Amino acid sequence: MFHLRLVPDNTRIAFMKGRFAGIGLSVLLSLASVVLYFYPGLNYGIDFAGGIVIEARTPETSNFGKMRTVLHDLNMGSVALQEFGSANDVLIRLERQPGDDAAQQRAADRVRATLAKEFPGTQVRRVEAVGASVSGELFRNGMLALGLAMGAMLVYIWFRFEWQFGLGAVVTLLLDVTKTIGFYVLFDLQFNLTAIAAILTIMGYSINDKVVVYDRMRENLRIYKKMPLRELIDLSINETLNRTLGTSMSTLLSILPLAFFGGEALQEFGIVLIFGIFLATSSSIFIAAPILLFLGENRLRRGAPEAAPAAGQPQQAP
């Protein structure tokens, strides 16, 4: 009976040989992401920066030139127009208006009225207007959720495994999160509440992956008492490779429709999650595992191992 295998069984790739390249590249990318975070910086969406978003559908192909002029004449600061979906759909973004929260509401009402007057038949399909006090609060809560999630993961892994695993997982998470943020900057995606959901999801996914690999490593540490850690890590990764890639595949397939049909908000969410799946899968193999290797064999085994004559030979656990 034929079964699709993403990698052949008995694959034995010496991943640890590439540990310096893997971690090096990862750190480099994360550093680049940090730079991107400061310059040019995240494109904060309406949830976190406040402002106005209006989604409108014009009866015929949207006349962007006229719309830009008309809206510009309202003197509301920078107006961004974006076509999406069909040629009749236009997304209007206005920066946060000076003044209090109520100023956003007045501005949104003005744009609505202007559209109705200048482009008869235009259907306003969505309006969001968020003031500074709300956006500030959403941002604080979002960051709090990310921070607490990070802490909770550390505590969880620490309870379930030895501290080395916890450290490995959290360092990997940090690298994952920075790169995700870099991805947002690089592709100028809207950093909104859904971005927090996306980052949390990627963190969760990444941790899942690490837990599976670590579980296997721990199991193998018990079985192969004398195998050098480096070989043991390679073995564990290889043994779980079909599962790691299989789950990545199933999650990727389930998320894929979002990137196509998700609409304005969820399309970007889908794209980021797809990026996150690649990220989490690669970081399990190239980051989380090598970190354990660096932290050292002695500590993991609590006792100096001898040179391993029986390497690769299973020994029954006592």
Partner 1 sequence: MLYFSRWKIYTILVVCLLGIVLALPNVLGRDTLAALPSWYGQNRVHLGLDLRGGSHLLLEVDMGAVVRERLEGLVDGARTQLRTANIGYTGLSAGDRQVTIQLRDPAQAEEAVKQLKQLAITVGGGPLGGGLPDITTSVNGSTVTVALSDEAVRQRAQQAVEQSIEIVRRRIDETGVSEPTIARQGMDRILVQLPGVDDPDRVKRLLGTTAKMTFRLVDANADPSTGRAPPGSEILQSTEGGRGGQGAYVIRRKVEVDGANLTNATAGTNSQNGEWVVNFEFDSQGARRFAETTKQNVGRPFAIVLDNKVISAPVIREPITGGRGQISGNFNAQSANDLAVLLRAGALPAPLKVIEERTVGPDLGADSIRAGLISVIAGFTMVCIYMIAAYGLFGVMACLGLLVNLVLTIAALSVMQATLTLPGIAGILLMLGLAVDANILINERIREEAKKGRTPFAAMEAGFSRAYATIIDANLTTAIKMALLFIFGVGTVKGFAVTITFGILISMFTATVLVRLMMVSWLRRSKPAALPV
**Binders of partner 1 among 112-131, rule CB under 8 A?**
112, 123-131
**Could you tell me which stretch among 34-42, 64-72, 252-260, 283-291 binds partner 1 (CB under 8 A)?**
252-260
Q: What single DSSP character describes residue 41?
A: I
Contact positions with partner 1 (CB under 8 A) in 59-88: none
Beta bridge partners of 56: 90, 124
Q: How far is the CB of 125 from partner 1 (least distance, A)?
A: 4
Of the residues 42, 71, 115, 153, which one makes contact with partner 1 according to CB under 8 A: 153
Q: How far is the CB of 5 from partner 1 (least distance, A)?
A: 7
Cβ neighbors of 274 (< 8 A, separation 6 or more) are: 252, 255, 256, 259
| # chain residues binding partner 1, by CB under 8 A | 78
Of the residues 91, 243, 295, 301, which one makes contact with partner 1 according to CB under 8 A: 243
Contact positions with partner 1 (CB under 8 A) in 213-232: 215, 219
Look at residues 315, 264, 234 and name the one whose alpha carbon lies nearest to residue 125. 264
Look at residues 217, 124, 130 and name the one whose alpha carbon lies nearest to residue 169. 217
**Could you tell me which stretch among 17-25, 27-35, 101-109, 224-232 binds partner 1 (CB under 8 A)?**
101-109
Give the whole-angstrom CA distance, residue 210 versus residue 259. Answer: 26
Of the residues 13, 80, 102, 186, which one makes contact with partner 1 according to CB under 8 A: 102
Contact positions with partner 1 (CB under 8 A) in 184-213: 193-194, 196-197, 200-201, 203-205, 207-208, 211-212
What is the residue type of 316? Answer: Q
Contact positions with partner 1 (CB under 8 A) in 157-186: 160
Q: Where are the beta strands (DSSP E) in the chain?
A: 43-44, 51-57, 79-84, 86-94, 123-130, 190-191
Give the whole-angstrom CA distance, residue 34 versus residue 47. Answer: 22
Contact status: 134 vs partner 1 (CB under 8 A): yes
